[in-house]
Structure 1
Amino acid sequence: MSNYVIHADQKLLATLRAYYKDALSDRLPAGALFAAKRPDVTITAYRSGKVLFQGKAAEQEAAKWMENHTAPENKQKDQNRAKTTALSEQELGSLSAIGSDEVGTGDYFGPIVVAAAYVDRGHLDRIAALGVKDSKQLNDETITRIAPTIMETVPYAVTVLTNAEYNRWQQSGMPQTKMKALLHNRTLAKLIDDIAPIEPEAIIIDQFLERNSYFRYLEDETRIVRERVHCLPKAEGVHVAVAAASIIARYMFLAEMDKLSRTVGLPLPKGAGAIVDEAAAQLIRQQGVGALETCAKLHFANTKKALDIAKHS
């Protein structure tokens, strides 16, 4: 069981009691002011001002309150985080690290795919020698050729957000940036579990949000990968693990596009240009507008354009 402690003044103690009022417990340990129990965390506040968080979500829950209230026993952790954050890009590039990237966010057809890859220090040169670079700099033929070798060489994890699920999330009001945050976090958690007990020295996300905004989107998640996480622009140039993840994500996206094309019986083009509008219009004419729900991101402007084309052709 994870334990995490903060020190709170009287004002914060009152705030905590009010926040957890629906989960307050009648059974109090000696010296406690109040205790609250939630599914993944138990919170116990003591008269001394110490607040103890216990359970799977202990660190995530404590993090909501720890600004300017960090307990002495947690200071070393915070100093370690600060030291990692202060590393230069050159230093980060030499570490054993997990990198993560996503593809498909700007494509009308096809899912969003997030991949994470772990590359240890001993494999940095070997992976770089494969010609690993940002997938946007490689054509699909090259990606199809080198991705299997990368996937045989390094541990990786992939999460695919299908179009049907994407449309449900989007229609519920979720912005695409939050979708990406959730997918990255879940993919990182899968890979961390897969490589355990190995612990990466850094986790590098190709930045689509500032780090603080990224973690705000994850507040309701039961598990948050928080330690040693860096959100860096053009991160594929910082660490080869991000470039490897980028290639794996693109490779899996291409496979998903082929699968969708076979399912609908029509070649589905990538991107969101005029050729996509025409393909979507053809699909509407052949199978009805409902066919788009499982292969397209419906809120894109392409849907309206395709409907107009189908109507007037």
Structure 2
Amino acid sequence: MSTYTKTMNPAQIEELEHRLKDCTKRKTPPYALYQYKTSDCVITAYASGKVVFQGEGADFYIDSLPSEKKSTPAASIKEQFPQCGSDEVGTGDYFGPVVVCAAYVKQEQVSWLKSLGIQDSKAMDDAYIRKIGNQVMSEIPHSLLILNNAKYNQIHSSHNMVAIKSKLHNQAYVHLQKKIGMLPSLCVVDQFVAENSYYRYLKNEKEVIKNLHFETKAENKYLSVACASLIARYAFLLSFDAMQQRYNFSFPKGAGKNVDISIQNFVEKYGKEELYNIAKLHFANTNKAKIM
């Protein structure tokens, strides 16, 4: 098990918690600001500014930290159109796929999108996303990638989560570029990894989209990223629905204790081999359910 300690400023600690909000939040230890449990790492932020990463995935989370904060772009850049943005969902869910979307927004679509109240999908009710999702998908040019669990488990045997996300974001932009002809000058990635590490993960890819803008919390700042987030969430919900219908089983979202119970119930009904097709097996929930 690896352990790393990094000194971070208050803004970086706050941004890190924002990135961990889909993970399991634990009882806060003494002198700590928060502690989160991911699939393969425990991350504890202390009031002193020290952040401790413990677990098999600790080195990957250290590597995924954004580099030192660059100057914030002028507000006018956020309102620059056309623009593209990419985001992903499902990485914090034990059940269900990983979905990445890159979306293209033109100036003439801005008023309509804002009238719909488009924002980060995590801040939007799933019922509303279901209501407007198909309409947004029909009007907004986009590239959508859905990585099912069987393929995810196969890839994860040789690629960590950050590498997988980097490759999916790049491929989404590659597909979008072919769809619309030429990408605009502003293409934003909701930052989950330092820019240099992102491109390092893509060193063996045949096509790599360069000159992307990386920014944390981009889904709340750029309309294109918000659209990508919404479309990805809508596709995730449809995939989740299909999975529940196929197995006639109610799968919980996230990776909490209720997931551990569902794993046991699912295995009793379908056998542990079938988990390979509907779950991210490297999550700690697999071991906690004591079925492997």
Q: TM-score range by the shorter chain?
A: 0.7 to 0.9
- Aligned partners of 2:143, 2:183: CA distance in 1, in Å? 15
- Aligned partners of 2:114, 2:142: CA distance in 1, in Å? 16
* Cα drift, residue 154 of structure 1: 1.1
The alignment partner of 2:268 has SS state of helix
| Kept in 2: contact 1:205–1:242 (CA 8 A) | yes
| Kept in 2: contact 1:104–1:253 (CA 8 A) | yes
- Aligned partners of 1:213, 1:89: CA distance in 2, in Å? 27
> What is the 5 A alignment of 1:252-263?
252-263=235-246
The alignment partner of 2:259 has SS state of helix
Could you give the per-residue CA deviations for residues 200-224 of structure 1, whole angstroms, max 9, x where no partner exists? 1211011101211111111100000
* Cα drift, residue 277 of structure 1: 1.1
* Cα drift, residue 151 of structure 1: 1.2
Out of 190, 194, 197, the residue aligned to residue 179 of structure 2 is 194
Show the counterpart of 2:194.
210
Q: Which amino acid in structure 1 is aligned with residue 215 of structure 2?
A: L
Report the more deviating stretch, 116-125 or 185-194.
Answer: 116-125
The alignment partner of 1:115 has SS state of strand
Out of 177, 180, 191, the residue aligned to residue 165 of structure 2 is 180
- Aligned partners of 1:218, 1:89: CA distance in 2, in Å? 30
Show the counterpart of 1:272.
255
| Kept in 1: contact 2:96–2:279 (CA 8 A) | yes
> What is the 5 A alignment of 1:114-133?
114-133=100-119
Show the counterpart of 1:110.
96
Out of 179, 203, 209, the residue aligned to residue 219 of structure 1 is 203
For structure 1, which runs of at least 5 residues remain unmatched after alignment? Answer: 1-84
Q: 2:97 aligned with 1:97, yes or no?
A: no
| Kept in 2: contact 1:94–1:239 (CA 8 A) | no
Out of 137, 144, 148, the residue aligned to residue 134 of structure 2 is 148
Out of 269, 294, 297, the residue aligned to residue 280 of structure 2 is 297
Q: 2:233 aligned with 1:250, yes or no?
A: yes
For structure 2, which runs of at least 5 residues remain unmatched after alignment? Answer: 1-70
Number of aligned residue pairs = 222
Report the more deviating stretch, 258-267 or 136-145.
Answer: 258-267
Report the more deviating stretch, 278-287 or 175-184.
Answer: 278-287
> What is the 5 A alignment of 1:156-167?
156-167=142-153
Could you give the per-residue CA deviations for residues 123-148 of structure 1, whole angstroms, max 9, x where no partner exists? 22221111100000011101101212
- Aligned partners of 1:152, 1:263: CA distance in 2, in Å? 26
* Cα drift, residue 294 of structure 1: 0.3
Show the counterpart of 1:35.
none
Show the counterpart of 1:52.
none
* Cα drift, residue 89 of structure 1: 4.4
* Paired-residue identity, %: 39
Out of 249, 266, 288, the residue aligned to residue 271 of structure 2 is 288
RMSD over equivalenced CA pairs, Å: 1.7
- Aligned partners of 2:113, 2:261: CA distance in 1, in Å? 40
> What is the 5 A alignment of 1:16-95?
87-95=73-81
Which one has the largest radius of gyration?
Answer: 1
Task: Mark the CA change 1:105 to 1:89 in structure 2 (over 3 Å): closer, same or farther.
Answer: farther
| Kept in 2: contact 1:97–1:202 (CA 8 A) | yes
Q: Which amino acid in structure 1 is aligned with residue 80 of structure 2?
A: S
* Cα drift, residue 94 of structure 1: 2.2
* Cα drift, residue 156 of structure 1: 0.9
What is the TM-score of this pair, normalised by structure 2? 0.73
* Cα drift, residue 302 of structure 1: 0.8
Q: Which amino acid in structure 2 is aligned with residue 105 of structure 1?
A: T
Could you give the per-residue CA deviations for residues 113-172 of structure 1, whole angstroms, max 9, x where no partner exists? 001110012222221111100000011101101212211221011001110111111122
Runs of 4+ in 1 over 3 A off after TM superposition: none
What is the TM-score of this pair, normalised by structure 1? 0.68
The alignment partner of 2:282 has SS state of coil
- Aligned partners of 2:77, 2:257: CA distance in 1, in Å? 44
| Kept in 2: contact 1:89–1:238 (CA 8 A) | no
The alignment partner of 1:307 has SS state of coil
Show the counterpart of 2:12.
none
| Kept in 2: contact 1:115–1:159 (CA 8 A) | yes
Q: Which amino acid in structure 2 is aligned with residue 242 of structure 1?
A: V
- Aligned partners of 2:250, 2:84: CA distance in 1, in Å? 34
Q: Which amino acid in structure 1 is aligned with residue 172 of structure 2?
A: T
* Cα drift, residue 86 of structure 1: 8.4
Q: Which amino acid in structure 1 is aligned with residue 88 of structure 2?
A: E
